[in-house]
Structure 1
Amino acid sequence: MSTQPQVQTVTTGADKAKLVAAAALLLGSLVAFYLLAQKDMWLRVVVLLLGVAAAVAVFFTSESGRQLIAYGRESVREVKKVVWPTRKEATQMTGYVFAFVVVMALFLWVTDKTLEWALYDLILGWKR
């Protein structure tokens, strides 16, 4: 039996309107950027950044935006709980991985050369 509580998402009309408004602001800022092609680049970039900032602000006032913020906070909280390895442990594990890779590479090379010798020299009789 699951111990997780059932999450029920209720999307209101106002929430949908906020998401549509955020998308419209984002699209509008992109259109404005290209419509202002004859103006200075700094003006175009400022208009684009202001439009994107407005779209992000509207998005974060919606339920989806609040859920995203809550998810980010929970993620940070979980990362703080992680017990990170010490420098010595990380160095040792890296050494073990490199040693394993070298041993595996040698094993595969020996296996390849053995199969090559058995197939080409013994079975097919091809001499190089």
Structure 2
Amino acid sequence: MSHQNVVTVNKTADRLKLSLAVLVLAAGIVAYSVLADQSIYLRVAVFIAGLVIAALIAGFSDTGRRTLAFGREAYNETRRVVWPSRQETTRMTAIVFAFVVAMGALLWVADKLLGWVIYGLLLGWN
């Protein structure tokens, strides 16, 4: 995995592209609300069109290209993961459950023992 530094948007052109993308997305949301009397298919189509256009505009900015590159790296990294088999997963889950039960029993015994020592022996309460 790459260890890239955080880079902010410094170029005016990138700021304008990202601002335009946000405005197009907001226009899609507003259009969905304004077209309340129209068919749901038309409303959803207008919203999705606004979403796609905003993504395309943002994708042409430097920040958008870096985001897409990060997404590709993340996808490639998940393809390289060796996932456990069903048997390994079941075995590890059973081990975790057994550990939780054992720790619960240990903490219950410690609580009862400390309660007996404090309240029974030190304070003399029953």
Q: Same fold (TM over 0.5)?
A: yes
Aligned-partner SS, 1:85: coil
What is the Cα-based RMSD across aligned positions, in Å? 2.4
Query: Aligned partners of 2:114 and 2:8: how far apart in 1?
Result: 60
Query: Aligned partners of 1:28 and 1:34: how far apart in 2?
Result: 10
Structure-1 residue corresponding to 2:58? 59
Residues 32 and 46 in structure 2, CA contact (< 8 A), matched pair in contact too:
yes
Residues 20 and 54 in structure 2, CA contact (< 8 A), matched pair in contact too:
yes
How far has the Cα of 1:86 moved from its partner? 2.7
Unaligned segments of structure 1, at least 5 residues? none
Aligned pairs for 1:17-28 (under 5 A) are 17-28=16-27
Residues 17 and 58 in structure 2, CA contact (< 8 A), matched pair in contact too:
yes
How far has the Cα of 1:98 moved from its partner? 1.3
Q: TM-score, normalised by structure 2?
A: 0.81
Identity of aligned residues (%): 44
Query: Aligned partners of 2:43 and 2:7: how far apart in 1?
Result: 42
Query: Aligned partners of 1:80 and 1:29: how far apart in 2?
Result: 34
Aligned pairs for 1:11-90 (under 5 A) are 11-90=10-89
Change in CA separation of 1:100 and 1:5 when aligned onto 2, cut-off 3 Å: closer
Q: TM-score, normalised by structure 1?
A: 0.80
Aligned pair count reads 124
Unaligned segments of structure 2, at least 5 residues? none
